[in-house]
Amino acid sequence: MRKSRMFYRMLVSSFQLRKSRMLIALLAIIVGTAVISGLLSVYYDINVKMGMEFRSYGANLILTPSSDSQQNVFPESTAQEIAGVFPQQNVVGYTSNLYGLVKINSRRLVVVGTWFDQISKITPYWELTGTLDTDRKASGTAFVGKTVSDKLGYKIGTVLPLKDEVTGNEQKVTVTGIISSGGTEDNQIFINLSDAQKLFHQEGLANAAYFSVTGEGIDAAASTINVKYPQMELSPIKQISGSEAVMLKKISSLVYIVVVIILLSTLLCVATTMMTMVMERKQEIALKKVLGAQNKALSLEFLSEAGVLALAGTLAGLFFGYFLAQVIGQSVFQSAISFRWAVIPLVTVTALLVAGLASLIPLRSVIGIEPAVVLKGE
Amino acid sequence: MSILEITGMSKKYGSLHALQDITFSVEPGEWVSIMGSSGSGKSTMLNMIGLMDKPSTGEVSIDGIVTSSLSSKKLTEIRRDKIGLVFQQFHLIPHLTALENVMVAQYYHSMPDEKEAAAALGRVGLEGRSRHLPRQLSGGEQQRVCIARALINYPALILADEPTGNLDETNEKIVLDLFQELHSEGHTIIMVTHAPEVGELAERQIRLEYGKIREIRVPGKILI
Ligand SMILES: Nc1ncnc2c1ncn2[C@@H]1O[C@H](COP(=O)(O)OP(=O)(O)OP(=O)(O)O)[C@@H](O)[C@H]1O
Ligand SMILES: [Mg+2]
């Protein structure tokens, strides 16, 4: 016990004596770990968020009648058949949509018939206030886009008299929710698919179907389906696939390069600081050798100092890194970055490795110190 | 058995013969002075005896242990266990207190023992100074801390290289009185000095010239 106390005392006093030098090395490690942990957090976060969107966030295939077919509707059952082509566990969800124009008190609006229970799977990024009646057999409920709601004053509870000008059919629906998607959906009114089919007199038909499918080979599957159903056209939804995957790869190699450069510069800074420290302490080291210190014990002392520096630096670095991640997240991606626990061990081990590597050359000079030569000088 | 036995020891730095064919031995309890002008090889010789440097040829035995074929790790161990060193420039660790400087020697030897270290400081008349840093101590006090440090592990042999070389007369006297006390208690001392009045305190003076033993004398008598 006493021995470890002396060890600790020597460690602490050596830090006290070389405050400014230690501070430089510490700062180097703090800056290094902050930038690395910040970048990794952002990278992980964006990767996960985008990756989720890319794979299972929402629809990634759209089915429409092909242009050759001269049709704009198709039987709902086709969507079901096509969903059955993919392995069942890969199909997150799908929905058939039927579009039509209605008149509400002399205003023309777009009504979309859809399956309410599929909304959370096909368009999970919609912001919804209120509730949806997810029973497919339910009838008489609607939700409206935010713009429609704001402009026309449609609120939850408002009863809308829908009138199809072509067929003359009418139906009253009650607004139960308001959605905001940031897209054209904000201008539309959504009702149950079967309500829409009755209203527009298009029983069993749809204009489009959206699929959310995971797994490999979606593009290949789409081409075979297109061959098998010449009347239909199944195409990937482009905005959330290829280009973002490429972008992610680019971001990731950029992050790797930056991390390596930062590691190298931290390594250099810590190594020069350690080297200067050894040079400054030549006499002390020589004296300790005279007093019986073996190279192993002296190396351990130096490595401990480097280790303490690395750990203290990492602690502060992780702290600043978190804020850095938030700043990057807000200014570049307009989103908060969630804290990743995996960054802690990763950055700590890296910092320890860097400190250890940085100590290698200084340690060689510690071992090479000849007490007879060093202690002779004035 | 002799505490120190040197036979046919030489040291060459390139073409320079710093020491040539040195042979002598030191008995337990003896005080030996090594004298000579600057560059005569005194420090070189003390470094060989303190196992901090290896002779080019010849043999150094400490307390019966023949050292020429030992590894540097083993030599460090023998130095730690058998030898206490005092330097002209003190060589205290600047950021540790007087007490801690003594305890460092215990630390690398076996176990730091604060009580014993404090007693050693008391032994050299520094009981009130144990919490002071080296720079807060006078030269004489610093050198006494070094002596306390050299004594702490009960060495068989105390080596001192010009221990009073950096001290004024008053402090020189205090330090020399201390060495005399140690001697009277039975410690074996080898002290390098070029001051005749310091050398005369020893029972035997060995005078070097150009790396060779020129003269050995005991009080009142020249042996060689
Ligand atoms: N490491 C070394 N490399 C080369 N030459 C050395 C080395 N150490 C000592 N010498 C030379 O060996 C000779 C003896 O040196 P030493 O230090 O033993 O002298 P000294 O008697 O202690 O002198 P001083 O009274 O000035 O301390 C000198 O000429 C010195 O220049
Ligand atoms: Mg000398």
Q: Of the candidates B53, B93, B111, which has its C-beta nearest A3's C-beta?
A: B111
Which comes out higher in pLDDT, residue B204 or A124? B204
Confirm if A6 and B107 have CB atoms less than 8 A apart. yes
Which comes out higher in pLDDT, residue B152 or A48? B152
Q: What is the DSSP letter of A184?
A: G
Binary contact (B105, A291; C-beta < 8 A) = yes
Residue A50 scores a pLDDT above 70: no
Q: What is the residue-level pLDDT of chain B in tens, covering all 224 positions?
A: 899 999 999 999 999 999 999 999 999 999 999 999 999 999 999 999 999 999 999 999 999 999 999 999 999 999 999 999 999 888 999 889 999 999 999 999 999 999 999 999 998 999 899 999 999 999 999 999 999 999 999 999 999 999 998 888 888 998 999 999 999 999 999 999 988 889 989 999 999 999 999 988 887 777 77
List residues near ligand 1 (CB under 6 A).
A 373; B 13, 16, 18, 36, 38-44, 194
Got the DSSP string for B141-206? HHHHHHHHHHHTT--SEEEEESTTTT--HHHHHHHHHHHHHHHHTT--EEEE-S-HHHHTTSSEEE
Percent of chain A with pLDDT over 70: 94
Set of chain B residues whose Cβ sits within 8 Å of the Cβ of A13: 95-96, 100
The pLDDT-based confidence of A56 (bands split at 50, 70, 90) is: very low
Cα–Cα distances in angstroms (integers) from residue A66 to residues A95, A233, B90, in the given order: 18, 5, 96
Query: How many residue pairs bridge chain A and chain B with CB atoms within 8 Å of each other?
Result: 73
**Residue-level pLDDT at A49:** 63
**Residue-level pLDDT at A242:** 54
Residue A335 scores a pLDDT above 80: no
Rounded CA separation A378/B183 (Å): 28
Q: How far is CA A142 from the centre of its chain?
A: 33
Rounded CA separation B133/B90 (Å): 13
Q: Is A16 helix (H, G, I), strand (E, B) or coil?
A: helix
Binary contact (B112, A5; C-beta < 8 A) = yes
The dihedral sign for the CA sequence A105, A110, A112, A113: positive
Cβ contacts of residue B161 below 8 Å, gap of 6+?
B42, B43, B46, B85, B86, B87, B88, B192
Rounded CA separation A366/A378 (Å): 20
Tell me the shortest Cα–Cα distance from A275 to chain B, in angstroms.
19
Confirm if A179 and A190 have CB atoms less than 8 A apart. yes
Shortest-distance atom of ligand 1 to CA B53: 1
Neighbours of A81 (CB within 10 A): 13
**Residue-level pLDDT at A14:** 82
The tokens describing A84, both together, are 């059955």
**Residue-level pLDDT at A48:** 64
Binary contact (A292, B85; C-beta < 8 A) = no
Residue A146 scores a pLDDT above 80: yes
Taking the model in full, what pTM does it have? 0.70
**Residue-level pLDDT at B77:** 94
Set of chain B residues whose Cβ sits within 8 Å of the Cβ of A370: 52-53
Rounded CA separation A259/A256 (Å): 5
Of all helices (H) and strands (E), which one includes residue A324? helix A295-328
CA-nearest residue for atom 2, ligand 1, is: B13
Q: Which residues pair with B189 in a beta bridge?
A: B31, B158
Q: What is the pLDDT of residues A230-254, one digit of tens each?
A: 889 888 875 444 555 677 777 778 8
**In chain A, residues 286-325 whose CB comes closer than 8 Å to chain B:** 286-295, 297
Which comes out higher in pLDDT, residue A54 or A141? A141
**Residue-level pLDDT at A136:** 83
**Residue-level pLDDT at B221:** 74
Determine the residue of B44, B89, B161 to mutate for testing ligand 1's pocket, defined as the one with the most ligand atoms within 8 A of the Cβ atom.
B44
In whole numbers, what is the pLDDT of chain A averaged over residues? 86
Binary contact (B85, A16; C-beta < 8 A) = no
Binary contact (A293, B100; C-beta < 8 A) = no
Name the strands in the sheet holding B65-66, side by side, starting at the edge strand that comes first in the sequence: B16-26, B4-13, B57-62, B65-66
Q: Of the candidates B80, B95, B96, which has its C-beta nearest A291's C-beta?
A: B80
Nearest to A195 by CA among A222, A162, A229: A162
Tell me the shortest Cα–Cα distance from A366 to chain B, in angstroms.
14
**Residue-level pLDDT at A55:** 44
> How far is the centre of ligand 1, averaged over its atoms, from the C-alpha of B13 (Å)?
9
Write down the domain spans for chain A.
Answer: 2-53+246-375, 61-236
> How far is the centre of ligand 1, averaged over its atoms, from the C-alpha of A198 (Å)?
111
Is any Cβ of chain A less than 8 angstroms from the Cβ of B73? yes
The pLDDT-based confidence of A96 (bands split at 50, 70, 90) is: very high
Instruction: Match domain B28-54+72-222 to its CATH number in 3.40.1080.20, 3.90.1720.10, 3.40.50.300, 3.50.50.60.
Output: 3.40.50.300
Binary contact (A17, B113; C-beta < 8 A) = no
Query: Dihedrals φ, ψ of A322, to 5°?
Result: -60, -45
The tokens describing A316, both together, are 């502060």
**Residue-level pLDDT at B92:** 93
Tell me the shortest Cα–Cα distance from A300 to chain B, in angstroms.
13
CA-nearest residue for atom 28, ligand 1, is: B39
Q: What is the pLDDT of residues B90-121, one digit of tens each?
A: 899 988 999 999 999 999 999 999 999 999 99
Confirm if B45 and B22 have CB atoms less than 8 A apart. yes
Rounded CA separation A68/A193 (Å): 26
The pLDDT-based confidence of A321 (bands split at 50, 70, 90) is: very high
Write down the domain spans for chain B.
Answer: 28-54+72-222
Is any Cβ of chain B less than 8 angstroms from the Cβ of A12? no
Binary contact (B93, A284; C-beta < 8 A) = yes
Confirm if B130 and B99 have CB atoms less than 8 A apart. yes
Cβ contacts of residue A1 below 8 Å, gap of 6+?
none
Of all helices (H) and strands (E), which one includes residue A94? strand A91-104
Which comes out higher in pLDDT, residue A249 or A365? A365
**Residue-level pLDDT at A376:** 79
